[in-house]
Structure 1
Amino acid sequence: MRVVTVCGMGFGTSLMLLMDIQAIAQKHGFSVEGEAVDLGSAKGKTCDFMVASSEIASELSGEAVHVISINNLLDKKEIEEKVMPIIRQMT
């Protein structure tokens, strides 16, 4: 499974989000590969789903894959509650 995490600059926030998602998936027995990118690079990326802050996610609404919007990027519980159903659905 491949995820693309998106933030304004493509490092920092998106990298932290990717690492959180990978740790959460591993805790549940799933393996997730991914890439942290900036908003401009995210358009048209090949992946199973995208994850971004609510502000950035609205800019990705035209993508062909599911875009998960996270309100509080520091809230691991919110990330887990929103990401795990998608991971389970895709496996």
Structure 2
Amino acid sequence: MKITVVCGNGLGSSLMMEIMIKKILDAEKIEYEIDHVDLSSVQGTHSDIFIGTRDITTQFSVKSGMVVSLNNVVDQVAMKEKILAAIKQLES
């Protein structure tokens, strides 16, 4: 499972989200590969799931893969629910 976290500059919020997502997936014992990129690099990135805040995810589209839009980067409960739902959908 390849996951890409996207933010405006590819630094602050995407790195914070990446760390939180790793904790969620490790706790669920889900195998993954994760990286973070800036908004301008997302089009050239291949991934199963792209994750970003709502304001960022409305600024890009992907040819393949699923986009998960988060309302709040510090809401770990909502983050976990949305990511696990996306993984489940991909696996079915």
Tell me if TM exceeds 0.5: yes
Question: Which residue is 2:33 aligned to?
Answer: 33
Question: Which residue is 2:67 aligned to?
Answer: 67
Question: Which residue is 2:9 aligned to?
Answer: 9
Question: Which residue is 1:49 aligned to?
Answer: 49
Greater mean deviation of Cα atoms: 2-11 or 18-27? 18-27
The SS at the match of 2:50 is: strand
The SS at the match of 1:89 is: helix
Question: Which residue is 1:24 aligned to?
Answer: 24
Question: Which residue is 2:88 aligned to?
Answer: 88
Greater mean deviation of Cα atoms: 16-25 or 49-58? 16-25
The SS at the match of 2:58 is: helix
Show CA shifts across 1:4-60 (max 9, x none).
100011011101111111211111110221111100011131110100000000012
**Cα offset for 1:90?**
3.0
Whole-angstrom distance in 1 between the partners of 2:13 and 2:21? 12
Show CA shifts across 1:51-84 (max 9, x none).
0000000012x21221110000010001001001
Whole-angstrom distance in 2 between the partners of 1:56 and 1:69? 8
Structure 1 stretches of 4+ with a deviation exceeding 6 A read: none
The SS at the match of 2:59 is: helix
TM-score normalised by L of structure 1: 0.91
TM-score normalised by L of structure 2: 0.90
- Give the % identical residues: 31
Unpaired runs of at least 5, structure 2: none
